[in-house]
């Protein structure tokens, strides 16, 4: 990699983690405040409404991913005219989608008391909450094109700075609102209103980095068909993600109660925070892979695959160790001891398959960057359907643990038996080479951390943030020394021979290009 690329990667990753760290710290502070100020049932309604509107992401239809893919391609080929047609067509498409989402919001809000088990005292609040959040999400579709454009240009740092500012201002306004006795509706208005304002700022920066023309005359069927050929498969992946990770609260709200959502969400949200840490890092691999694929750099794709998953594991494994060993203490310090008994088993059950997924975060991104994600999307969809069916089957006899099992079983099967073999086959990397190169070093590096955490817990079981901080500081010091040795000895970036018998990917659009270069 060129020095300028490495600097930009460092900017992207570091700003992503700062943005996520800000979001997590604010969430850790705000959620207990909201939970204890409003109560279990209203907090459960909050989670339910945001879970419902989360499904609006299905209306994305994969357009954002095609923006990232083709803007990255336009950058590699320096084709601003093509980028102008792409962004104009995307903006028009998203405006139509936003209008449709607004109509659905009106229909669902009018019938929300018939769809979910909501206490009559909170039905009016739930209806207005859905209207506020749904309208904001609808407007966010066209405004969100700028975010996809910045990702395609590999300027995650700009997006992340806007996210940090939005998060901090939002936290301040919510605290003020709660101190003045305001309820769900005011908090929701603050929560969804600020991202809209900062989305406008993203447009300003995106148009500076790539000054595309925006015009209805540039909206055309050819560009839309090209986007659809990529985004159609991506849409299946989006549906899959919603079924896999955003159906639990809705199923629990339908078959159990709003309060049960809260207990599930405590354990699930901690795992979500862990996943976001890795996802913020792994998001750089889509434009990187797309850029390499456009240039026919097959060997570089293989290195992104191996090193990307290795670095994802460097992040994933110590987080999982903390969640499993200190999960009860984390829950107690965060929201209170009464949530530990019900929420900790959910945390562990969700964390273990999520670890398999997070440790392979680069794999799916490489497939998307290469436009080779069809089989992955289909398998993910099957997994999502299995998740919903199993969760519905198990939620009544086993409660929130049954719902968690419904998610864990299909996810584990996909991550163990499909994804590694599939990507290795696409990139012509032997599966044993992949497993050895990607995971041996992270496992050995994390082993001392597990030992330290177990010894520290045997010495003192933490019950508050300060005691937790002592454990994390000790484990962090040990892990930092291990990482210093790994990076100082240059083992972290070292990769064995990844050349396939023929250095051309089967079915690749760049096969002829690579052959000509050879």
Model confidence at 36: pLDDT above 80: no
Q: Computed from CA positions of residues 72, 77, 82, 84, in that sequence, does the dihedral angle turn out positive or negative?
A: positive
Residues 436 and 406 in one domain: yes
End-of-domain residue from the set 230, 259, 276: 230
For residue range 215-261, what is the model confidence (pLDDT) as tens digits? 888 888 787 777 776 666 666 776 777 777 677 877 887 888 777 88
Of residues 329, 465, 334, the one with CA closest to residue 30: 334
Q: Is 294 in the same domain as 200?
A: no
User: In the predicted model, is pLDDT for residue 513 greater than 60?
Assistant: no
Tokens, residue 260: 């049960």
> Where is pLDDT greater, at 128 or 482?
482
- One domain, residues 272 and 213: no
For residue 509, being part of any structural domain is answered with: no
Q: What whole-number percentage of the chain has pLDDT above 90?
A: 24
Choice among 86-95, 111-120, 174-183, 298-307 with the minimum mean pLDDT: 111-120
Shared domain check, 374 and 427: yes
Query: Which residues are CB-contacts of 41 (< 8 A; sequence separation ≥ 6)?
Result: 119, 122, 258, 259
Q: Is 95 exposed, middle or buried (0-12, 13-18, 19+ CB in 10 A)?
A: middle
Indicate whether 515 belongs to any domain. Answer: no
Examine residue 513 and state whether it is found in any structural domain, yes or no: no
91 in any annotated domain: yes
Both 153 and 290 in a single domain? no
* 106 lies in the same domain as 205: yes
pLDDT band at 57 (very low <50, low <70, confident <90, very high): low
CA dihedral over 279, 332, 256, 38, signed as positive or negative:
negative
192 and 261 within one domain: no
Q: Provide the 8-state DSSP code for 490.
A: T
Digit-coded pLDDT (tens) for 487-510: 888 787 777 766 554 444 444 444
Determine, yes or no, domain membership for 87.
Answer: yes
Task: Tell me, yes or no, whether 516 lies in a domain.
Answer: no
Q: Per residue in 101-120, is it b (16+ CB within 10 Å) or e — as a string? A: bbeebeebbeebeeebebee
Q: Residues, the chain, total?
A: 518
Exposed/middle/buried for residue 467 (C-beta within 10 Å: 0-12, 13-18, 19+): middle
Structural domain ending residue among the three candidates 196, 230, 264: 230
**pLDDT beyond 50 at 48:** yes
Do 202 and 310 fall into the same domain?
Answer: no
**Greater pLDDT, 437 or 16:** 437
pLDDT at 61 over 70: no
Q: For residue 101, what are the domain limits?
A: 1-230
pLDDT tens track for 176-185: 887 877 767 7
- Assess if residue 240 is contained within a domain: no
pLDDT at res. 509: 44
Band of residue 203 on the pLDDT scale cut at 50, 70, 90: confident
Is residue 400, in this structure, part of any structural domain at all? yes
Q: Say what percent of the chain tops pLDDT 70.
A: 84
> How far apart are the C-alpha atoms of 10 and 359, rounded to whole Å?
20
**Confidence at residue 507, expressed as pLDDT on a 0 to 100 scale:** 44
Burial class of residue 222, CB neighbours in 10 A (0-12, 13-18, 19+): exposed
User: For the chain, how many structural domains are there in total?
Assistant: 2
Q: Are residues 212 and 303 in the same domain?
A: no
| pTM of this prediction exceeds 0.75 | no
Q: Are 334 and 440 within one domain?
A: yes
Mean pLDDT of the chain: 81
CA–CA distance, 25 with 171 (Å, rounded to integer):
10
Q: Are residues 169 and 274 in the same domain?
A: no
Phi, psi (deg, nearest 5) at residue 295: -95, 0
Same domain, 287 and 434: yes
């Amino acid at each position: 990699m060129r020095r300028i690329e490495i600097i930009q990667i460092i900017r992207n990753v570091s700003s992503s983690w700062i943005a996520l760290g800000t979001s997590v710290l604010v969430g850790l502070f705000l959620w207990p405040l909201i939970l204890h100020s409003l109560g279990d049932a209203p907090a459960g309604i909050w989670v339910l409404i945001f879970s419902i509107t989360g499904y609006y992401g299905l209306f994305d239809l994969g357009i954002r991913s095609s923006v990232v893919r083709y803007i990255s391609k336009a950058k590699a080929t320096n084709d601003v005219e093509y980028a102008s047609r792409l962004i104009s067509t995307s903006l028009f498409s998203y405006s139509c989608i936003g209008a449709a989402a607004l109509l659905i919001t009106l229909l669902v809000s009018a019938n929300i008391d018939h769809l979910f088990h909501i206490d009559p005292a909170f039905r009016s609040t739930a209806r207005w909450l859905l209207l506020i959040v749904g309208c904001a999400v609808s407007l966010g579709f066209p405004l969100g094109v700028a975010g996809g454009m910045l990702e395609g240009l590999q300027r995650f740092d700009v997006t992340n700075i806007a996210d940090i500012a939005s998060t901090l201002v939002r936290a301040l306004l919510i605290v003020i609102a709660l101190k003045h006795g305001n309820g769900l509706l005011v908090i929701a208005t603050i929560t969804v209103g600020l991202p809209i304002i900062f989305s406008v700022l993203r447009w300003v920066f995106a148009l500076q980095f790539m000054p595309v023309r925006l015009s209805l005359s540039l909206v055309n069927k050819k560009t839309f068909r090209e986007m659809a050929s990529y985004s159609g498969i991506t849409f299946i992946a989006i549906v899959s993600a919603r079924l896999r990770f955003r159906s639990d609260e809705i199923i629990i709200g339908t078959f159990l109660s709003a309060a049960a959502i809260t207990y599930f969400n405590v354990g699930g949200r901690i795992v979500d925070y862990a996943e976001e840490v890795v996802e913020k890092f792994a998001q750089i691999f889509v434009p990187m892979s797309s850029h390499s694929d456009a240039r026919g750099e097959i060997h570089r794709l293989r290195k992104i695959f191996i090193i990307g998953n290795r670095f994802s594991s460097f992040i994933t494994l110590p987080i999982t160790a903390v969640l499993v060993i200190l999960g009860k203490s984390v829950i107690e310090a965060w929201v209170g001891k009464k949530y530990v008994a019900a929420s900790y088993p959910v945390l562990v059950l969700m964390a273990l398959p999520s670890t398999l997924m997070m440790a392979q975060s680069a794999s799916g991104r490489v497939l998307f960057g290469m436009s080779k994600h069809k089989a992955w999307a289909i398998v993910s969809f099957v997994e999502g359907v299995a998740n919903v069916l199993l969760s519905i089957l198990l939620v009544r006899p086993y409660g929130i643990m049954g719902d968690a099992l419904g998610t864990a079983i299909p996810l584990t099967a996909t991550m163990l038996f499909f994804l590694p073999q599939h990507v290795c086959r696409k990139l012509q990397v032997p599966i044993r080479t992949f497993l050895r190169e990607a995971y041996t070093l992270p496992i050995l590096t994390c082993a001392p951390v597990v030992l330290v955490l177990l010894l520290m817990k045997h010495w003192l079981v933490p019950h508050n943030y300060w005691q937790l901080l002592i454990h994390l500081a000790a484990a962090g010091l040990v892990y930092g020394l291990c990482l210093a040795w790994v990076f100082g000895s240059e083992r972290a970036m070292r990769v064995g021979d990844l050349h396939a018998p023929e250095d051309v990917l089967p079915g690749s659009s760049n096969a002829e290009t690579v052959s000509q270069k050879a």
